[in-house]
Chains A and B, each alone.
Chain A
């Protein structure tokens, strides 16, 4: 069953974990409710039944403890894949992630490796209560020693997670939770792209939209609408937020001359700010317009009745596209 014509991102992640655990007996899955329940999003559904409680570990409700013990397990030679239940709950573990996980390889002058993968369902759009809809990726991408990736479709979800697990660095793997049940094609025998590369999700010639995770679909919808108005939009799915594949973005912007960055996370000091600065430096003479950003506001993620207004949607992205094209 190499090709799934339509598989959800959640099921692709499940298949990916299964493949990693079958390939390497040192791979462990640990987190809150990941065992019998299969996780609150059922992403780890059935894994404990098939791989046992020794490899699929329900943990106490203590995020620092989960990540801290995962570090210890990694030092012993295991490859723990940790689930943080929701984005807003990662902060008790932030100390372990930043002061220990990220720095241990450098601290040990390369003598120890800590291949811990931390899966975080992130971003909004599911009508949740507070702390369940946040986009903290910039807080992790900012930290040297960590790698950060986020898939936008089933195939990338499947391959990127296995690549993250197989690598020897700590990786934060952000899962776009409102896209968990979006279906797309997966060929489990395909040859995947290297992990930290961006992908041209749609070719175009007038403007580049760069996005990742949940916003890729919005940008593809924007490109469709813009096409009806005779505008040709290229969509870059960044996929990796640390490192960022600036070369692919640069090549795209050199073709289109315009760049709009889109993410759910607040615009201020976000991933888009870094890309805007770098692309301005790299593509100064190719740019026909200032690099624009569309994203969240400098405000706490709002109550869910307001999230449709807060989240960058079709209209807000189109507005930015129009402003960029007006130059």
Chain B
């Protein structure tokens, strides 16, 4: 792109935000279509103050509110533990969710048991909500498997590493739900980087034309490794939905209450036959893309510090404390629980055995394959030849 082109692009982008939204709003039918705001849907400010939103209300019991806090604290602890385990050489890689706890816990807690989740590789908080044992998430990062859980046990599909591919699987799954006449919903997670993938665009098209019960939950964490969101799009991502014929909404991704409320509404729409919806959770990747990444090369400390002030856990804690919904004993208990979780994860990872060599040949096919059988037998014989040699050496 030329310099002029870049300049023009920026101007258009900055200018289009409000005008498009204003044009759209008189025509929108609030009863059936959630609002498309150019402002964030927010129910809890960074200072921990509850605010109301005309389209998205939420009324949670003190226990539920405390539960969200506990979920986020434990998820953050697990994530930090995994990062440490990578630094210690116990994991080959880790993709941290630091900063995205509210987006994941809020959306994850909006789901019903019969709903189905198609995650990226960073949805550790959603996995937590689904009841997937956190230690199971670590196998692929340790290199002992490519996905260590049964997707159908918790309706939580395996992590997908190829960016955006899972949005089509979610759409197809949702088409199946629809054919079954079930009232479950499906949620596809993806990121700002994935929004450029053709598969994401195709999943929007398919879900729209078939009116599939799927929610597209985009965590816009501002960075696709080193590329900022303006390298992916010149319109706010949630606005893309309109061109495909379904609503999009931008939610404060660091506000667990707003993420919960908006995702609930989107899932409810899907369940009641109103089709797909795009939720853009506006958040921030506080850590590196993965443990192999070095964000100091491409982004400024000031930016990260500004987002620190919007921390998802801190704001809920402020609210809970101000409302007198938690006391020191509760906070200490959560702290203690998180320490215990950390220890359990550490112990589990260190004890995680390498798979048997012959696992290379397992599950390549469901019904078997002659070539796999032949190569397995040849390789087993080759391996056994060393055992024979070792035994002979011992005898001598």
Q: Point out residues on A near B: beta carbons under 8 Å.
A: 54, 59-60, 62, 64-65, 67-78, 92, 95-96, 99-100, 103-113, 115, 144-145, 147, 167-169, 196, 242-246
Contact = CB atoms under 8 A, between A and B. Distances in A.
Contacts of A107: 146-147, 158
B151 A112 contact: yes
Nearest to A115: B366
A106 B362 CA distance: 7
6 contacts: A72-B170, A100-B162, A105-B363, A106-B146, A111-B150, A196-B370
Contacts of B145: 109
A65 B202 contact: yes
Contacts of A77: 176
Contacts of A169: 365-367, 369
Contacts of B158: 104, 107-108
B173 A72 contact: yes
A75 B370 contact: no
B359 to A, nearest CB: 9
B364 A65 contact: no
A111 B148 CA distance: 10
Interface of B: 118, 145-152, 157-158, 160, 162, 165, 167-177, 179-180, 198-199, 202-203, 205-206, 209, 362-367, 369-372
B175 A65 contact: no
Contacts of A103: 146
Given A60-B206, A76-B176, A169-B367, A69 B168 contact: yes
Taking each of A64, A68, A69, which has the highest tally of chain B beta carbons within 10 Å of its own beta carbon?
A69
A72 B152 contact: no
B243 to A, nearest CB: 14
B371 A244 contact: yes
A69 B172 contact: yes
A105 B172 contact: no
A64 B173 contact: no
B353 to A, nearest CB: 15
Contacts of A244: 370-371
Given A72-B168, A96-B199, A112-B152, A54 B179 contact: yes
A100 B203 CA distance: 15
A145 B365 contact: yes
Nearest to A274: B371
Contacts of A70: 172
A108 B209 contact: no
Contacts of A246: 370
A78 B150 contact: no
Nearest to A60: B205
A20 B343 CA distance: 53
> Taking chain B's interface residues, is the majority helix, strand, or loop, or is none over half, making it mixed?
helix
B202 A68 contact: yes
B151 to A, nearest CB: 6
A110 B363 contact: yes
A65 B370 CA distance: 31
Contacts of B174: 72
Contacts of A105: 363-366
Given A60-B209, A100-B169, A109 B147 contact: yes
Contacts of A62: 198, 202, 205-206
A95 B199 CA distance: 10
B176 A78 contact: yes
A71 B168 contact: yes
Contact of B175 (A67, A69, A108): A69
A96 B168 contact: yes
A108 B199 contact: no
Nearest to B149: A111
Given A64-B199, A112-B151, A243 B172 contact: no
B176 A73 contact: yes
B276 to A, nearest CB: 13
A62 B145 CA distance: 32
Contacts of B198: 62, 64, 92
A115 B174 CA distance: 17
Nearest to A98: B162
Given A65-B205, A145-B364, A243-B369, 19 more contacts: A54-B179, A64-B168, A65-B171, A65-B202, A68-B171, A69-B175, A72-B172, A76-B175, A92-B198, A95-B199, A96-B199, A100-B160, A107-B158, A108-B151, A109-B147, A110-B363, A167-B367, A169-B367, A243-B371
Contacts of B206: 59-60, 62, 65, 69
A73 B173 contact: yes
Contacts of B367: 167-169
Contacts of A95: 162, 165, 199
B169 A108 contact: no
A244 B180 CA distance: 38
Contacts of A110: 362-363, 366
B360 to A, nearest CB: 10
A112 B169 CA distance: 13
A60 B202 contact: yes
A230 B88 CA distance: 74
Contacts of A167: 366-367
Contacts of A96: 165, 168, 199
A204 to B, nearest CB: 25
A66 B276 CA distance: 18
Contact of B169 (A60, A72, A109): A72
A124 B203 CA distance: 32
A113 B165 contact: no
Contacts of B172: 68-76
Contact of B171 (A69, A99, A106, A111): A69
For the complex of A and B, 7 pairs with smallest distance between CB atoms: A72-B172, A68-B168, A76-B176, A69-B172, A65-B202, A168-B366, A72-B173
Contacts of B168: 64-65, 67-69, 71-72, 96
Contacts of A73: 172-173, 175-176
Nearest to A243: B370
B164 to A, nearest CB: 9
B73 to A, nearest CB: 30
Contacts of A92: 198
B162 A99 contact: yes
B167 to A, nearest CB: 8
A76 B147 contact: no
A68 to B, nearest CB: 3
A262 to B, nearest CB: 22
Contact of B173 (A76, A99, A111): A76
Contact of B369 (A67, A68, A76, A147): A147
